[in-house]
Amino acid sequence: MKQVLIIGIGQFGIHIAKRMEELHCEVMAVDRDEDRINEVLPYVTNAQIGDSTNEEFLRSLGVGNYDVCFVALGSLFQSSLETTSLLKELGAKKVISRATNDVQMKFLLRNGADEVVYPEKHMALRIATKYASDSILDFIHLDNNYSIYELKVPKDWYNKTLSQIDIRRKFKINVLTIKRGDDVFIPAPDTVIEPEDIAFIIGELRDIQKCFKI
């Protein structure tokens, strides 16, 4: 069971807390606002009202005992930067900070963040990609090169095996899984593609575009 510290209980912070609780983590929540602390109480193990830019307050939390510390202050960038830096100075094992733009991301990484999340950018990228084509049902960005796409299979795949389609050789992309009705399975080379199948495919965008004529 992981020990998690969440600093900043806005919408982003409370969603993290809810999910961590579902995953059976022990969560400590921190915010300056008593109302926000009261809102998150059903989903956390413990909570405190306090200023995360105060070194003595952070020290009192024993930040080195947490497996991961989330700095979810978002729009309060100066506080986010100070909190991130203090957490690392006080021995935090892993600090994940939220940014709202590219400049913030760079400064947070330079000042102690092990990882920076940029939810608005990631969501915009996901939505734009999803609605750029009727074939794309969903999209998971992995890095600058590779992503996983949930796609409707094209008509020229119908009633053919994966080995006959041969997209790995032709387009350098791979079918990870097939969703058929309520079932999801890893296909074999002799799996026959059916008209209602949904394919989960990993590859570079340009190769996906060529294969699916997006």
pLDDT at 83: 95
pLDDT at 4: 96
Mean pLDDT value across residues 147-164: 91
pLDDT at 110: 92
pLDDT tens figures, 58-104: 999 999 999 999 999 877 889 999 999 999 999 999 999 999 888 88
Q: What is the CA radius of gyration of the chain?
A: 22
Average pLDDT over the chain reads 89
**Domains present along the chain, CATH in parentheses:** 3-117 (3.40.50.720), 122-212 (3.30.70.1450)
pTM: 0.71
pLDDT at 52: 94
Mean pLDDT value across residues 25-48: 95
Name the percent of the chain lying above pLDDT 90.
Answer: 62
- The residues, any chain, with a CB within 8 Å of residue 11's CB and separated by 6 or more, are none
